[in-house]
Structures are given as structure tokens and as C-alpha cells.
Amino acid sequence: MATHESHKKRSGLMDWLTTVDHKKIGILYLLAGGFFFLIGGLEAVLMRIQLMEPDSKIFTGELYNQLLTMHGTTMIFLAAMPIIFGFMNAIVPLQLGARDVAFPYVNAVGFWLFFFGGLLLNLSWFLGGAPEAGWTAYAPLSTVAEDTGVDFYVLGLQIAGAGTLAGGINFLVTIINMRAPGMTFMRMPLFTWASFVTSGLILFAFPALTVGFFLLMFERVFDANFFNPDMGGNVLIWEHIFWIFGHPEVYILILPAFGIISEIVSTFSNKRLFGYSAMVFATVLIGFLGFMVWVHHMFTVGLGPVANSIFAVATMAIAIPTGVKIFNWIFTMWGGQIRFTTAMLFAVGFIPTFVMGGVTGVMLSVPAADYQYHDSYFVVAHFHYVIVGGLILGLFAGLYYWYPRMFNRVLNETLGKWNFWLFFIGFHLTFFPQHWLGLMGMPRRVYTYMSGQELDGANFVSTIGAILMGAGTIVLLINIVISASSKYATTKDPWDGRTLEWAMPVPTPEYNFAQTPLVRGLDALYVEKTAGNGEMTPAEPVGEIHMPNGSILPFILSLGMFIAGFGFIYANWIVAIAGLGLVLITMFLRSVIDDHGYHIHKEEVEADIKGGRA
Amino acid sequence: MNAGERLTDANFPAHPEKATLEGKNKFLGFWLFLGGETVLFATLFGTYLGLRNMHLDGPSGEELFSLPLVFLATMLLLTSSLTSVYAVLSLKQNKVRSLQGWFIVTLLLGLGFLGLEIYEFIHYVHEGHTFTSSAFGSSFYSLVGFHGAHVLFGILWIATLLGRNWNRGITLANAPKYYLFALYWHFVDVVWVFIFTVVYLMGKVG
């Protein structure tokens, strides 16, 4: 066999900048997402400090608006989604029994676009001020703002969004095309199913946002008139486009959390997931319905009773598949041998918390009642119950659960329990009182309130809770530092896992599976354990393994977008064209330089197997 | 077999674009990407439909649009879709020179379309219909311009692809690339059919 292969082994920083290994990209996503999570959390705590006392003057006016805009934007686009992508990268190919993702190069492009987009957005703090039009950037608030904050918002998120879309397509193709022999769709672990549906939602929701951002950018940079009523424009177009994206986005966020919880509840109850096929169906149905409910964010706009009623009914319908999931988790635990590890604590804490967010969601779906709740702290309480109480608890659970697979070490369980209780109690202290604040009329997005309106006590409690959540997060950081500095390596299967990601040694070999495994049922590893094999049966003999080469081009391409972003923000066309030129040159180079990857030879794989490394 | 190796008539697979896992992945991934592109254009169409009568003091679509010119552009683009089909047929028969010939015709027709579009835009600007003159102007140029940018990108793409593989025959590595370009080109064509209907025909009948 004549192969023209060249393979450069890179090390250190260069290895991380050029990697196309999904396991390393997963770690990059997790680190970058975690970093933005800390920034977003800091912004939240600063806001709560301002609201701790009535008539407080610490962060007022424009600065407060910047904090709230950047908190929402950062948490949604730069923290939650990248952390989800981190787990998807690290775990989905392993759960499928795949050697790699479908498009390793595109995967790297996706990460670096997100990273540079997030960097661009956050640099606004130092370059004339952050955006202040809210994470929804409603026109005309966003179109008339004089400073460059909104320009950073629109370009930073445009670049990051392109990366997300690339990642979504990559995972759809990976899941459809790269499953191991025997891994039928109805044998896929629930996290992989959730990643599949989430990727589909990304594919069909993000392009709407892409157009929205283009329109807003054209409006601000090129004086277009989409949203300017004086010139025939219509501000509602922005709201529609934003929420046509924005509501599916909510399910893009929560479905992976549902998947994580399903894995953890099943593993730590020592039971197969109750109602697996109903869980799959519910996941798909939630994804489908997620596209038909966007107007519930716009009930008070005045689209009329018919439109409002239709979207209200569609919104309420989502409670049904979600309820199916809740009951299935409870029935999975019913009669199981439950182990309360930290991951399981977060999963169990998730269930009632998310139900509370769901109940207020159904309350908000009633248009007549929504006129009362709209733009009040009741809404803030609702979506933090589903996003923090739902998604973030799910992500913490996933972190404790998959940390050994990703980093070859377990996190300390005692510190983990401190992490859970501080964060969980802090969370409820922060957001539970906000329901009442909202019902008493406290508007969201306003930097202060007056004393003597019975708002003082609940606001004070809420701030204390936010500080506890911060303390819980600091405990997690300490836990990570301790585990990183300890020499203790984990075993390959620390939780008595049921799915394929626990079937290979630690550290995970770069080719994942020395021999592609044969999947013989749902919970593939558990099937083999009960059959007395203990490990997977291979589906192929040991052979050469084809691997993709690393490349610096994804980094350079994203750098080009970053530079072009600055050009558009400051209307400097030379810089903009130079940046876009760099992007085109990178694409050209990728096209004309043949890169067929390299092979790991059979002898090396056999040596790895003998040495217990594969 | 190495994916970069020139295929012969003896070892030519029935579907060279999907004969490798990489090819299968690209094939599926690109179809999905076109699904996303559909949403992108749907959003632009929606915006245009919401704003198309907002021409203020400037000329309306009915006054501006000249159907003979647009018809000519449409014919150029539809024909280019046909020639890209011939190119893909040549691909499946391992006739690389014929593939190159048909793709060059496709490219030239695409350039002709783009030339007409640029002429049309310049004409409109002289009539007072600009990107900033009204909401109609902004939404018109965004929708039609996005399509034009797609045509331009397609031209750059096929030029690079042909140049890179000029003397390489058809391989398992480049067959999916030719095929994907043809898919893309059909998509751009379908979008134009909608633009012709929604922008120009509906613009003419009011």
C-alpha cells in the first residue's frame, strides 16, 4: 500500500493549538466555557451586590445595563453552550463506539470560532464599554446605541455562532454515520440521543440568528433600515427572528442536561433507564415543539388573541413530554440501589428544581396571566430555575461523572458534597424569593428599587444566596486544583458504568477503541458485564488505524474572523478585508494542500493492547 | 487503496462520491448544511415579505423591475444547473475531461448571471433604489445580495476545485468534492427560483 503520509508529533502549546482530537477539543471547550462561566458568574454577583440594599449606588445606570447584558449573553453563548459542547466532544464518540468524529478539522474550526468570538465580545469591556441592550438586543434599543458595545455583541456572537453551527453539523453526521456495529439508534445512550436532537435544533435555529445578526450589523454599520420605522422598517422583525432562534435555543441548552441526568440516574440506581423509548420519543418531541412556541416571549406585543392562544397551547403541550421524563427518572430510581455520589446528588437535586421551573413555565404560558408577569422578576426566577436549576445542575453532575474519563482523575467526593449543598441551597435562596419580588411588581433589568415597598428582605436574601452559589463554585475550583496536583489516577470504570465510554483504559487512547466494539444491546457495557465478559467483544481484528493530522489552520481561520470583526466594529475596511482575506486564504490552503492523515501501525496497536494502554 | 489515487474504469465504484466513509460523511454533512442554509434564506425571505412595500418616496418594485433582464438571468442560472448535472454524469462515468468542460460552462454561466446582477444593481441605484433609501431597499439588497454572494462563492469554489485537480483524474478524494459543489449549485439555483417568484413576479403584480 502506497500511502503518502507525513505526521508531525507536536507537543505543549502547539499541540493544543493544532489538535483535531475530539477528546482534547472537549477539554478546550470545557476550559474556555468554564472561564466564561466564572466571568458571567462574577457579573451576576456584582448585580446582586447592587440590589442587596434599596437605593444602592454601587453599579448604576449604564454600568448595570452592561453587567446584565454581558451576564446573560456570556452565560448562554459562551458558558453553557461551550460546556455542553465540551461534554459532547469528550463523550459522544466514545458512547457511539467511534474512533473519531465525522469532521475533526471542522470540529477544531468550531472551537476556535467560538473562542475568538467570545474573546471579541469580552474585549468590549476594555474598548469603550460592553453592550447594554440586554442579551436579546431588542431594536431600537440596540440600533440607536451610540457606542460600540452592541457592535462587539453582534460581531462577537456572529463569529461564535458560526462555530456552533459547524459543531452541530459535525455531531449530526457523527451520530448518523459513525456508530459502531450493533449500535442502532434505539440502543444509543440518552446523552447521545440528546446531543443528536440538540444538534438538529442548532442546525435549524442558528441560521435564523445568523441572519438576525447580519441585519443588525447592516443596520448599525451600513445604515440599513430594517428596524427603523422612520424609513419603513419594523422593530418587530428583530423580535420574531430573535425568538425563532431564541426558543429552540432554550431546548438546545436543556436537552443535553436531560441526557446527562438520564445517564447518571441510571448508573447510580444500578438500573436500566425506565421507559427508554418513551425518553427518546419525549426528547424528539420536545425538540420538535420547541420551534413552535417562540411567540410566548412576545405575548404582550399585541399579535392578537388568536396568535397568542395558538402559541399558548403549543407551549403548554411541551409540559407533557417533559413530565414523561420527570416520571421516568423517578421510576428509574424506584427500587434501585441508589449510590449518593456527588454526581447523583446533583441529578437528584435537579429533578424537583426543574419541576418548579416547569410549573412557573406553564403559569407564564397563559397569555392573560403573562401580561401580569411580563418583564418582572417572576420571569427572572422562572428562567433561572430552568437554566441554573436545570442545565447548570446537570452540567455539574456531568462534570463529576465524566471527570475521570476526561482528566484521568476523580474529583474529591467530600468537597463535591460541599460544592453541591452550597450551590443548591444558594440557588434556592437566590431565586425562590424572586418569584415573590416579581409578583409584587419589581421589574427586571432595573438597577435599583426604593425602600418601604417590602422588597428589601427578599432582595437581601437573594444576594446572600448568590454569594453562597459563588462559594460553591469556589469549592469546585479548589477540588479541581487538588485533583490536578494529586498523583492519584482513576481506574477505567470508577462508577460501575453501563455505557461504552467506560469500556477503555485511562488515559483514553488517541484512537479511542483499539478494535471497534460490537454492541449487543442497550447499555452496551452492562450487557457484557452481566454476560460475564466484563469487557466489550471486538467487532474487527486488530489492524491499522487511520488518524487525521493536526492543523494550525482552524486557529488562523478564526483569527482572521476575529480581525475582520474589529474591522467591521470600527468601520475600518482595510482591516475588515484583511481579516476576511486571511479566512479565504486559509480555506484555499485547506483545499489545495492534500492531507490524507496518517496510520497507526498494527504493531503499535498490539503493543498498546499488551501494555494495557488500549 | 489510497483516496488520492486516480481511478481507472476497472476499479471505478458505482458511487465514487460515497465510496469512502469520508465521502459519506461529507455527503450527509453537506445536505444538512443546506438544510441550515434553507432556514437562512427563509429568514431573509420573511424579512423581505414584511418590508417589500416600504419604499417610501423611492421607486416601488413594480416600477423598478424589468422582467426581460431577470428572465435572462434566470435562464443563465437554470442552464448552469443543467450543465452541472452533465458534469456529475461525467463524474459517474469517469470522464474527467468532459466533467471539466461542463463545470467550466457552469462557471461561465454563473459569471454571466453575476454580471447581469451587478448591472441590475447599478441600474437600480441610479433610479434611487439603494441599500439605505428605505426598508424595501435594505431587505431587497440583503436577500438578492446574499444569493449573489452565494453565486460568487460557488464560482470561487469550482475554480479552485478544477484548478487543483486539473491533472489528477477522478479520485475517491475529489469525487465527493465535485459532487458537493453540484449540490450547492442546485441549491443556489432553487433559491433563485424562489427569488424570481417572490421578489420579481410578485413585485410586478403588486
ipTM score here?
0.95
The residue type found at B138 is S
CB contact under 8 A, B43 and A212: yes
The answer to whether A217 and A153 are in contact (CB under 8 A) is no
Query: In angstroms, rounded to a whole number, what is the distance separating the alpha carbons of residues A133 and A153?
Result: 9
**pLDDT score for A413:** 94
The residue type found at A438 is G
Terminal CA-to-CA distance of chain A, rounded, Å?
A: 25
Query: In angstroms, rounded to a whole number, what is the distance separating the alpha carbons of residues A269 and B147?
Result: 54
CB contact under 8 A, B135 and A218: no
Where chain A has pLDDT below 50, the residues are 1-4
Query: In angstroms, rounded to a whole number, what is the distance separating the alpha carbons of residues A231 and B54?
Result: 8
Which residue from A1, A103, A596 is facing B4, i.e. has the nearest CB?
A596
**pLDDT score for A5:** 52
CB contact under 8 A, A231 and B55: no
DSSP code, position A502: G
- Which of A226, A234, A303, A596 would you mutate first to test chain B, the one with the most B CBs within 10 A? A226
The residue type found at A422 is L
Query: In angstroms, rounded to a whole number, what is the distance separating the alpha carbons of residues A253 and A261?
Result: 13
Query: In angstroms, rounded to a whole number, what is the distance separating the alpha carbons of residues A377 and A375?
Result: 7
**pLDDT score for A12:** 86
**Residue A239 cell numbers, joined:** 423580535
Asked if the C-beta of B34 comes within 8 angstroms of chain A's C-beta atoms, the answer is: no
User: Which residues on chain A are in Cβ contact (under 8 Å) with B46?
Assistant: 237, 240-241
CA distance A1 to chain B (A): 7
Asked if the C-beta of B178 comes within 8 angstroms of chain A's C-beta atoms, the answer is: no
The answer to whether A515 and A508 are in contact (CB under 8 A) is no
- Which of A172, A201, A225 would you mutate first to test chain B, the one with the most B CBs within 10 A? A225
Query: In angstroms, rounded to a whole number, what is the distance separating the alpha carbons of residues A227 and A229?
Result: 6
Asked if the C-beta of B139 comes within 8 angstroms of chain A's C-beta atoms, the answer is: yes
CB contact under 8 A, B40 and A211: yes
CB contact under 8 A, B39 and A207: yes
Q: What is the largest CA-CA distance in chain A?
A: 83
Task: Determine which helix (DSSP H) or strand (DSSP E) holds A598, and give its type and residue range.
Answer: strand A598-600
Separation in Å, CA A234 to CA A127, A136, A229, A313, B59: 31, 16, 6, 27, 19
User: Which residues on chain B are in Cβ contact (under 8 Å) with A103?
Assistant: 25, 29
The answer to whether A150 and A72 are in contact (CB under 8 A) is no
Asked if the C-beta of B162 comes within 8 angstroms of chain A's C-beta atoms, the answer is: no
User: Which residues on chain B are in Cβ contact (under 8 Å) with A594?
Assistant: 4, 173
CB contact under 8 A, A591 and B160: yes
For chain B, list the domains and their CATH numbers.
Answer: 16-205 (1.20.120.80)
**Got the DSSP string for A180-195?**
PTT--GGGS-HHHHHH
Least confident of A465-469, B35-39, B58-62, B155-159: B58-62
CB contact under 8 A, A102 and B25: yes
Alpha-carbon dihedral of residues A303, A305, A307, A309, nearest 10 degrees? 140
CA distance A294 to chain B (A): 14
Q: Provide the number of CB pairs (under 8 Å) joining chain A to chain B.
A: 119
- How is domain A12-551+595-610 classified at the architecture level of CATH? Up-down Bundle (1.20)
CB contact under 8 A, B2 and A244: no
Query: In angstroms, rounded to a whole number, what is the distance separating the alpha carbons of residues B164 and A587?
Result: 13
The residue type found at A361 is G
* DSSP three-state, residue A235: helix
User: Which residues on chain A are in Cβ contact (under 8 Å) with B160?
Assistant: 588, 591-592
CA distance A208 to chain B (A): 6
Query: In angstroms, rounded to a whole number, what is the distance separating the alpha carbons of residues B173 and B180?
Result: 12
**pLDDT score for A2:** 36
Which residue from A169, A222, A232 is facing B29, i.e. has the nearest CB?
A169
Asked if the C-beta of B142 comes within 8 angstroms of chain A's C-beta atoms, the answer is: yes
CB contact under 8 A, A596 and B173: yes
Burial of residue A484, with CB atoms counted within 10 A of its CB: 0-12 exposed, 13-18 middle, 19 or more buried: exposed
**Residue A355 cell numbers, joined:** 419541576
CB contact under 8 A, B28 and A177: yes
Q: At what angle do helices B175-195 and B21-51 cross, to 10 degrees?
A: 10
CB contact under 8 A, B43 and A207: yes
DSSP code, position A100: S
Separation in Å, CA A477 to CA A40, A160, A259, A419: 15, 26, 24, 10
Q: What is the largest CA-CA distance in chain B?
A: 67
Q: How many Cα atoms are found within 13 Å in the side-chain-facing hemisphere of B156?
A: 11
User: Which residues on chain A are in Cβ contact (under 8 Å) with B54?
Assistant: 231-234
CA distance B26 to chain A (A): 8
* DSSP three-state, residue A547: strand
Instruction: Give strand pairing partners of A518.
Output: A537
Query: In angstroms, rounded to a whole number, what is the distance separating the alpha carbons of residues A586 and A580?
Result: 10
Terminal CA-to-CA distance of chain B, rounded, Å?
A: 60
Q: Secondary structure of chain A: what % helix, strand, coil (to 5)?
A: 70, 0, 30
Query: In angstroms, rounded to a whole number, what is the distance separating the alpha carbons of residues A259 and A270?
Result: 17
CA distance A53 to chain B (A): 45
User: Which residues on chain A are in Cβ contact (under 8 Å) with B33?
Assistant: 169
CA distance A128 to chain B (A): 27
User: Which residues on chain B are in Cβ contact (under 8 Å) with A234?
Assistant: 50-51, 54, 135
Look over chain B and give the mean of its residue pLDDT values, rounded to a whole number: 95
CA distance B204 to chain A (A): 20
Asked if the C-beta of B190 comes within 8 angstroms of chain A's C-beta atoms, the answer is: no
Query: In angstroms, rounded to a whole number, what is the distance separating the alpha carbons of residues B73 and B66?
Result: 11
Query: In angstroms, rounded to a whole number, what is the distance separating the alpha carbons of residues A582 and A574?
Result: 12
CB contact under 8 A, B24 and A177: yes
CB contact under 8 A, B47 and A226: yes
* DSSP three-state, residue A518: strand
**Residue A403 cell numbers, joined:** 471527570
The residue type found at A280 is V
**Residue A198 cell numbers, joined:** 440538540
**pLDDT score for A3:** 45
Which residue from A211, A223, A244 is facing B44, i.e. has the nearest CB?
A211
Contacts of A186 (CB under 8 A, 6+ apart): A276, A277, A280, A522
User: Which residues on chain A are in Cβ contact (under 8 Å) with B51?
Assistant: 226, 232-234, 237
Asked if the C-beta of B50 comes within 8 angstroms of chain A's C-beta atoms, the answer is: yes
Ranges of each domain in chain A: 12-551+595-610
Which residue from B29, B46, B132 is facing A102, i.e. has the nearest CB?
B29
Count of residues in chain B: 206
Task: Determine which helix (DSSP H) or strand (DSSP E) holds A199, and give its type and residue range.
Answer: helix A190-221
The answer to whether A73 and A131 are in contact (CB under 8 A) is yes
**pLDDT score for B1:** 56
Asked whether the whole model's pTM tops 0.80, one would answer yes
**Residue B65 cell numbers, joined:** 423591475
Asked if the C-beta of B149 comes within 8 angstroms of chain A's C-beta atoms, the answer is: no
Count of residues in chain A: 614
